[in-house]
Amino acid sequence: MAWKSSVFNGFIMVVIVLNSLVIGFETVEEWKVAYKNVFKALDELFLAIYTMEFVMKLYAEPRGYWKSSYNRFDVSILALSYVQVIMDELNVGDKILTPLRLLRAARTLRTISFIEGLQVLVTALIDTIRNSVLNVVILLSMLMAFFAVVGYYIFGYEEETGDKENWGTLSTAMLTLFTFVTVDGWTEIQKDLDKRPYSQWFTIIFIFLGHFIFTNLFIGIIIMNIHEATEKFIAQQKQEHEAILQMKKDFLFQRQRDDVKEMLEKQKNSQYANFEEMTRSFQQTLRHDDYVIMSDPCSNLTWIEAFLTTTDHLDLYTYRCQQIQFQIANVLADMAEMKLKEKEQEAALQASALPRGMQLFMRAKAAMTKKTA
The pLDDT value given to residue 2? 46
Cα separation of 38 and 18, whole Å?
A: 14
What digits encode the pLDDT tens for the residues 62-82? Answer: 787 888 777 888 888 888 888
Q: CA triplet 103, 109, 110: central angle to 5 degrees? A: 105
Cα separation of 49 and 18, whole Å?
A: 12
- Answer whether CATH 3.40.50.1970 is correct for domain 6-114: no
Answer whether residue 339 shows pLDDT above 80.
yes
- Banded model confidence at residue 43, pLDDT cuts 50, 70, 90: confident
Answer whether residue 214 shows pLDDT above 60.
yes
Cβ neighbours of residue 39 closer than 8 Å, sequence gap 6 or more: 22, 25, 26, 31, 32
Answer whether residue 285 shows pLDDT above 50.
yes
What digits encode the pLDDT tens for the residues 320-336? Answer: 888 888 888 888 888 88
What digits encode the pLDDT tens for the residues 292-309? Answer: 445 555 555 555 666 667
The pLDDT value given to residue 293? 46
- Banded model confidence at residue 267, pLDDT cuts 50, 70, 90: low
| Average pLDDT over the chain, rounded to an integer | 76
Q: CA triplet 357, 339, 322: central angle to 5 degrees? A: 160
Alpha helices in the chain (DSSP H): 6-25, 29-34, 36-60, 69-89, 94-102, 116-127, 134-151, 164-167, 170-182, 186-193, 199-207, 214-267, 275-283, 301-353, 356-372
- Banded model confidence at residue 138, pLDDT cuts 50, 70, 90: confident
The pLDDT value given to residue 178? 87
Average pLDDT of 214-228?
A: 82
CATH code, residues 130-228 = 1.10.287.70
The pLDDT value given to residue 359? 56
Phi and psi at 184, nearest 5°, equal -120, 105
Answer whether residue 290 shows pLDDT above 50.
no
What digits encode the pLDDT tens for the residues 155-189? Answer: 877 777 777 787 888 888 888 888 888 888 888 88
The pLDDT value given to residue 272? 56
Q: Any idea how long the chain is?
A: 373
- Banded model confidence at residue 93, pLDDT cuts 50, 70, 90: low
The pLDDT value given to residue 211? 84
- Banded model confidence at residue 291, pLDDT cuts 50, 70, 90: very low
- State the burial class of residue 186 (Cβ atoms within 10 Å of its Cβ: 0-12, 13-18, 19+): buried
The pLDDT value given to residue 116? 73
Amino acid at 51: T
- Banded model confidence at residue 279, pLDDT cuts 50, 70, 90: low
Amino acid at 3: W
Domain boundaries, the chain: 6-114, 130-228, 301-356
Name the most confidently modeled range: 160-169, 231-240, 363-372. Answer: 231-240
Cβ neighbours of residue 175 closer than 8 Å, sequence gap 6 or more: none
Answer whether residue 264 shows pLDDT above 70.
no
